[in-house]
């Protein structure tokens, strides 16, 4: 098997100890999607430049090489200044990174999602007010982008049972593996057609954001599994 060398640019989304002195590092990259590499000697050595670079929120260019899918990290360079979100915005970054790390397949580039990820990090870093009302539109839009990229975002414009266009005056039940189906307005957890059309057109009112959160909470386990998210333990109100 021949030695394969990759050059990529991206962000650290997760890292964990590996053997005695190394780290396993998950990157989200523009060129290859999620890549997991071995950073030899990056753990326990406080003088290691590599250790200081392998942090979230830094846009990096790096090389990795190996004869298997798990490659060894080589050169690492910082491409821009590290971002610095504060307060709840920082916890939002932890959350976004965690769902990415759990949802993304290995080695599949998803350029639109990478662009959305960069934009979301920048928006969270630029915030001067990190209230729930401020961060939730960024989170919901990113979650929708992730679900869309992986083929799990429901169609907000049509009834999945008969293909009819969503009626703004009607109500719908969300079936997570199928989509939205017409139902009685009194049915528990029914969603108004108006809110679905708002979501379809990117109109994120407070009520639309609440509907979006409900839809994401039901759908996200399809791509990340049922295990509790560690980031939600830090930020219970997400």
pLDDT tens, position by position, 167-215: 999 999 999 999 999 999 999 999 999 999 999 999 999 999 999 999 9
Task: Name every residue whose Cβ is closer than 8 Å to that of residue 201 and which is 6 or more positions away in sequence.
Answer: none
Using the predicted structure, report yes or no on whether residue 2 has a pLDDT greater than 70. no
Q: Are 144 and 212 in contact (CB under 8 A)?
A: yes
Q: What's the average model confidence in pLDDT over 53-62?
A: 95
Give the pLDDT band (50/70/90) at residue 72: very high
In this predicted structure, the answer to whether residue 128 has a pLDDT above a threshold of 90 is: no
> What is the band of 50 on the pLDDT scale with cuts at 50, 70, 90?
confident
The Cα-based distances of 94 to 89, 97, 133, 142 in angstroms read 9, 5, 18, 13
pLDDT band at 85 (very low <50, low <70, confident <90, very high): very high
Sequence-distant (6+) residues with CB within 8 A of 203 are none
Q: Please report the pLDDT score of residue 47 as a whole number.
A: 61
Mean pLDDT of the chain: 92
Share of the chain above pLDDT 90, in %: 80
pLDDT at site 1 = 57
Q: What is the DSSP letter of 82?
A: P
Q: Are 59 and 76 in contact (CB under 8 A)?
A: no
Mean pLDDT of 56-85: 93
Tokens 């969603």, residue?
Answer: 191
CB 226 within 8 A of CB 86: no
**Residue 204, helix vs strand vs coil:** coil
Residue 91 has phi, psi (to 5 degrees) of -65, -30
Confidence of residue 13 (pLDDT cuts 50, 70, 90): very high
Residue 110 confidence (pLDDT) above 60: yes
């Amino acid at each position: 098997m021949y030695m394969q060398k990759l050059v990529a640019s991206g962000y650290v989304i997760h890292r964990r100890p590996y053997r005695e002195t190394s780290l396993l590092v998950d990157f989200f990259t523009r060129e290859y999607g999620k890549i997991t590499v071995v950073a030899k000697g990056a753990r326990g050595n406080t003088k290691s430049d590599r250790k200081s670079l392998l942090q979230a929120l830094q846009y990096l260019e790096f090389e990795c090489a190996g004869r298997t899918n798990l490659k060894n990290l080589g050169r690492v360079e910082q491409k821009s200044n590290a971002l610095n979100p504060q307060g709840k915005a920082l916890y939002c970054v932890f959350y976004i990174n965690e769902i990415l790390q759990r949802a993304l397949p290995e080695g599949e580039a998803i350029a639109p999602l990478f662009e959305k990820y960069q934009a979301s990090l920048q928006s969270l870093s630029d915030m001067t007010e990190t209230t729930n009302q401020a961060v939730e539109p960024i989170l919901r839009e990113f979650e929708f982008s992730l679900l869309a990229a992986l083929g799990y975002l429901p169609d907000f414009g049509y009834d999945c049972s008969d293909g009819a266009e969503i009626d703004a005056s009607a109500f719908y039940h969300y079936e997570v593996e199928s989509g939205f189906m017409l139902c009685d307005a009194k049915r528990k957890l029914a969603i108004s057609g108006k809110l679905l059309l708002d979501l379809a057109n990117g109109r994120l009112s407070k009520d639309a954001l609440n509907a979006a959160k409900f839809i994401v909470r039901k759908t996200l386990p399809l791509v990340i599994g049922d295990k509790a998210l560690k980031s939600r333990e830090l930020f219970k109100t997400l």
